Structure 1
């Protein structure tokens, strides 16, 4: 379950910071500086949105933030590429910032509490770590390569958007299956 909770978050940030930058520069023809500024501004905004998401998960629960984040990744996959395809610097930078803050931050903020809370005290560290590291290897390591391969073989960016939707659905389902943990005492788990 922890792999499913992590997979969309890590894939989303790597696709936005690696694949989308390459797509924007090589396919759309956007200057690299615009794409990198989009990542930089999005990351700077996440200095606020990631802790905010963690804080909100302490108030409303981990699952609502995870549902929101995974739904945001699902519904923004296609618009992300269409907006990048406009080539307009302001639109591209705003798109990157919104996608990172609503997709990535809403998943990443509560993650440090949510995933370990799913495991009992005797296996908490190894259980959380194993799931997170497997998801990071797949989502962060393989997903940009899979996206590149999909785009190269189909010639259509929609195939990459479909991959992003699939990963978002995996995280949504994992969130649905996971129990809410934010009000439980860690010693009782």
Structure 2
């Protein structure tokens, strides 16, 4: 198979999976939002974060295969299920961490600062791949995340969010 036909197959596969993934993500967002009212925000958010962490290594390996079906699967799992689960939970979870008078500003400010800082992750990942190659880059990138775990844990304690909230 030539490079051109392989590239074309990938484009067609991705084009078909994008709307399907978007529809799935909408459904999962609403379902996870409703599920937080039944089992609590914290357990669902922690489960989705754990899924994102565990999916990181397989994601790199599946994407690196350059097989259109596997790349589409990564997209569907990552965006359609994991990210949508986080999105469905964040609306209520973030606003409940602030008093009513500061709720909108507090949730928005924290979310926007995190997005601005986290927005450099793809640039950092690309730089690591360029410098160290594909095989070790994901390990080097993920080594930077564990120091943030204690601050995340402490933020739960300091806000007084209960385990079922």
Bin for the TM-score computed over the shorter chain: 0.7 to 0.9
Partner residue of 2:90?
111
Partner residue of 1:34?
13
Residue 120 of structure 2 is aligned to residue 142 of structure 1: yes
Partner residue of 1:127?
106
Equivalent of residue 101 in structure 1, options 80, 91, 102: 80
- Distance, in Å, in 2 between the alignment partners of 1:126 and 1:96 is 32
- Listed as ranges, the gaps of 5+ residues in structure 1 are 1-27, 184-189
Pairing 1:17-166 to 2, within 5 Å after superposition: 31-139=10-118, 141-160=119-138, 162-163=140-141
- Distance, in Å, in 2 between the alignment partners of 1:39 and 1:176 is 37
> Which protein, 1 or 2, shows the higher relative CO under an 8 Å CA cutoff with sep ≥ 6?
1
Partner residue of 1:6?
none
Partner residue of 2:162?
180
Partner deviation per Cα, 1:83-119 (whole Å, 9 max, x = no partner):
1223332222122211223421121111011101100
Cα deviation, residue 147, structure 1: 1.3
Partner deviation per Cα, 1:136-171 (whole Å, 9 max, x = no partner):
1122x3111111111111112542365357558847
- Whichever of the two has the greater Rg, that structure is 2
Partner residue of 1:186?
none
Aligned residues: 155
Contact 2:43-2:163 within 8 A present in 1 as well: no
- Listed as ranges, the gaps of 5+ residues in structure 2 are 1-5
